A and B are shown apart, each in its own frame.
Chain A
Amino acid sequence: MNKKATMTNRERIEAILAHKKPDRVPIWPFAYGGFATVYTGTSISDAYNKPKVAYEAQKKTCLDFDWVFTPWIGYAAYGGWEFGGEIKWPSGEYAQAPTVARLPVETVDDVWKLKAPEVATAGIIPIVTEFMEIAAKEQLDNEPFKFMCACMGPFNTAGMIAGPDMLCKWVIKKPDAAHRLIRLATDHMKDLADYWADKFGLESSLAFTGEAIATGQLISAKQFEQFVLPYFQEAHQYILDRGYKHIYCHQCGEQNANLEHWAKIPYGNPGIISIGHEVELETAGKYFPNDVILGNLEPAIIQSSTPDKVYEATRKNIQDGMAKCPGGYVFSPGCELPPMASVENVKAMGQAVEDYGWY
């Protein structure tokens, strides 16, 4: 611990969630995927299909870099495998995450025949369960929660069941089919929330949701209002009623036009809103004045820039976040920390927080 530090990383998050100021801005990076496994000398695919390796990699990485640690396995293509399709693990030099190799749904008829999967055996869930059983055995000084419970997102999961392009077309051409898929995905979110709560309790669980497809790069704010908002409202309310205190929600990509809708969704008291670099911290702070904003350094900068530039971009980010997020601010990349980011660049992020992040 740094000489100035009066709190552990766990205490920092606990303070922010209690609407109090921590001693310093915490770093809670989106580093659950390949960065941790690459850093610790294994492969990107290990981050998704080797629970013990993934857990140890996340743990070591978070300790080495003085980060908040909330063990988690999840992936943006969630839904394709879980609803009956097939997955391809990342392999080769340039792949970053699992992808859907065969969609479970190809036609509208398939949609009406599709049934929600049994959670315990769905796709990656047995792997995640094993991972969480490992995580449940300890809670370190940098762990505000023993794990994040993956509940995913309704539109995103639907997009991975039928393919994002097909879902986009059905939004216009076959809205009943689109709604049916999103309904199944929403019910599955609730099933996931129940499954994790029943299996691991709620004492130290943080619910995770997110959307990577329902962005302004793909759909309009009006389509978001019709096909995303009501389902997220329903799923989040269910998760909170189930007893989860906070929801960590990753709102990926361009969301500026959707913020008025995102702001109508319950996240707990407070919620934890993870935003991409496309949304200004000040804007997020205005839409979510009572929630913790987590973000939002552009991942490509961390990977492709120099340590000096990463340091400078982080400095600006944390100064904005500290001043303009009244519900609390946590530093993070705006999306997944690039697996191939250099250690020097990642250290530059931490150095900027160390130099400018004290309250």
Chain B
Amino acid sequence: MASEERTSEILDKLRQAVYDFEEDDAVKWAKTALEEGVDPFVATLEGLATGMIEAGEAYNRKEYFVPELLMCADALYAGLDVLKPAIDASGRTAEVKGSIVLGVVEGDVHDIGKNLVKMMFEVAGWTVYDLGKDVPLDKFVEEQLRTDSDVVGLSALMTTSMLAMPEVIKRIRAKNPKVRILLGGAPINPEIADKYGADGYAKTAGTAVDEAINLLKMLKEEEGRK
């Protein structure tokens, strides 16, 4: 069992490995964490995920861009691959902050932004149901109902594919009026999101999680008033 000081050092190395997008270091320190008895949950949340959150903050400050974030993600997932068997074996489950169905709408294959959003939700402790790209409209409705997710996130990069968004929103609302819907993608802005009937808009992957959390808070407040 690692001492408190040693645990702190290992967590910092894991955090730094992700932030510096050093995939080999992330694997090395994840193995060290297991070898020295650091709780794999703690290693994930306070090490790897913390590094990714800091990378997201650097992205919001325009110090990191997509290449750096993608590399950080590779380091994160490399470390997770080492830790996950131990997490699964422990039988413990992490506290889930929320759940989201994510996808790029039908007609659109541009998924870099959606993939970054997915990663930011995962490190923030959300369960993500990723439908991928070029997703048929009804698939969003079915997946939300199947998973009873709190939020549905829709992404589009093209002006033609963005036209699928109001149709998806209409179909989701018809089945489940309570679900919160978040839009993102280059041609979307707050005014268009509002016009389409969405609840929120995320300008970047870095702001998507905060926006989703706000949506859930608003939902709970609305329910509290009823």
Contacts and interface: CB of A to CB of B under 8 A. Distances in A.
Contacts of A340: 159-160, 163
A299 interface: yes
Given A218-B112, A338-B160, A340-B163, A93 B186 contact: no
A300 B187 contact: yes
B158 A96 contact: yes
Contacts of B195: 304
A173 B71 contact: yes
A127 interface: no
Residues of A contacting B: mostly: loop
Contacts of A94: 105-108, 160-161, 163-164
B67 A169 contact: yes
A322 interface: no
Interface residues of A, number: 34
Contacts of A299: 159, 187
A38 B109 CA distance: 21
A44 interface: yes
Contacts of B160: 34, 44, 94-96, 338-340
Contacts of A220: 62, 65
Nearest to B64: A220
Query: How many B residues are at the interface, by size bracket?
Result: 20 to 34
Interface string A306-341: 000000000000000000000000000000101111
B188 interface: yes
B16 interface: no
B66 A168 contact: yes
B17 interface: no
A1 interface: no
Contacts of A336: 159
A44 B192 CA distance: 24
A172 B164 contact: no
Contact of B158 (A92, A97, A253): A97
A31 B82 CA distance: 51
Contacts of A168: 66-67, 70, 112
A225 interface: no
A171 B67 contact: yes
A49 interface: no
Nearest to B107: A94
Interface string B13-40: 0000000010000000000000000000
Residue among B62, B66, B107, B159 facing the most chain A CB atoms (10 A cut-off): B159
Contact of B159 (A93, A96, A216): A96
Contact of A300 (B66, B107, B162): B162
A156 B33 CA distance: 41
Interface string A93-106: 11111010000000
Interface string A163-181: 0110011011100000000
Contacts of B21: 172
B12 interface: no
B130 interface: no
Contacts of B106: 92-94
Contacts of B107: 90, 92-96
Interface string A202-221: 00000000000000111110
12 contacts: A90-B107, A93-B163, A93-B164, A94-B106, A94-B107, A164-B112, A165-B112, A220-B65, A299-B187, A300-B192, A303-B159, A336-B159
Q: Which 5 A-B pairs have the closest CB atoms?
A: A94-B107, A96-B160, A338-B159, A95-B107, A168-B67
Interface of B: 21, 62, 65-68, 70-71, 74, 105-109, 112, 115, 158-164, 186-189, 192, 195
